[in-house]
Amino acid sequence: MVEGIEKPNLKTLISEERLQTRIAELAREIDRDYADAERLICIGVLKGSVFFLVDLLKKVQTPVAVDFFQTSSYGAGTEPGEVRIRKDIDMSIRGQHVLLIEDIVDTGYTLRTILDLLRFRGARSVKLCALLDKEARREVEVPIDYSGFSIEDRFVVGYGLDYDQLYRNLPFIGYLEP
Ligand code: IMP
């Protein structure tokens, strides 16, 4: 939750046009890098990555399979950065090329946990594609193979990202001013 926001004023940070242009570039990079792959397993993290994943994969030509994780972070009473898997993927990834698709990398705990798990399960390769990188907030190192935009440390909404479950369906990335 964002402290102090009662009557939010929504401002645009990244327009729909800039998002879609950059997503088309990312799709081209992915196709180039996986040109020899028979299949790429693309894994999204629910719920935030869904809008980005759909738009990105509609532009990718490489044959893809799609699956999802859902995670939750626990604050009080648990270790800082402890991440739980609430929904696991259904597919076996042993020996497969895996691309993890995420909306935003913030502290990095969520992705560090998932990337370690995917490697532990014997994926042939694991790469990360994140639409937004909030680097100033990073607490654990997470290499981003395909990064959409670096943004400053502010709470953003839209295009999958929520504030109290709202704003996910905005076609652009915005921020809320009190
Ligand atoms: P991390 O584990 O701290 O990197 O957290 C990543 C998750 O926190 C993202 O997948 C988002 O769901 C959420 N998150 C982080 N920053 C923002 C933000 O600015 N707006 C909305 N959700 C965010």
Per-residue pLDDT reduced to its tens digit, 97-128: 999 999 999 999 999 999 999 999 999 999 99
Give the model confidence (pLDDT) of 53-72 as tens digits: 999 999 999 999 999 999 98
Residue 123 is which amino acid? A
Q: Whole-prediction pTM value? A: 0.93
- Give the number of the atom of ligand 1 that is nearest the alpha carbon of residue 162: 21
Domains of the chain with bracketed CATH:
16-151 (3.40.50.2020)
Residues of the chain with pLDDT under 50: 4
Q: Give the burial class of 6: count Cβ atoms within 10 A of its Cβ; 0-12 exposed, 13-18 middle, 19 or more buried.
A: exposed
Q: Measured from the CB, is residue 156 less than 6 Å from ligand 1?
A: yes
- Pocket test of ligand 1: the residue of 84, 161, 164 to mutate, having most ligand atoms within 8 Å of its CB, is 161
Q: What is the DSSP string of 79-113?
A: -TT-EEEEE--SS--TT-EEEEEEEEESSSHHHHH
pLDDT at position 81: 77
Find residue 87's DSSP bridge partners.
70
Which of helix, strand or coil describes residue 60?
Answer: coil
111 contacts 83 by C-beta, under 8 angstroms: no
164 carries an active-site annotation:
no
Q: How far is 129 from 113, CA to CA, in rounded Å?
A: 15
pLDDT value for 5: 53
Task: Say yes or no: CB of residue 108 within 6 Å of ligand 1.
Answer: yes
Choose, from 106, 133, 153, 164, the residue flagged as catalytic: 106
User: Starting at the edge strand that comes first in sequence, how are the strands of the sheet with 146-150 ordered?
Assistant: 83-87, 64-73, 40-46, 97-105, 125-133, 146-150
Dihedral sign, CA of 25, 47, 6, 151?
Answer: negative
pLDDT of residue 2: 58
48 close to ligand 1 (CB < 6 Angstrom): yes
What pLDDT is stored for residue 73 in this prediction? 75
Q: Is 109 in the pocket of ligand 1 (CB under 6 A)?
A: yes
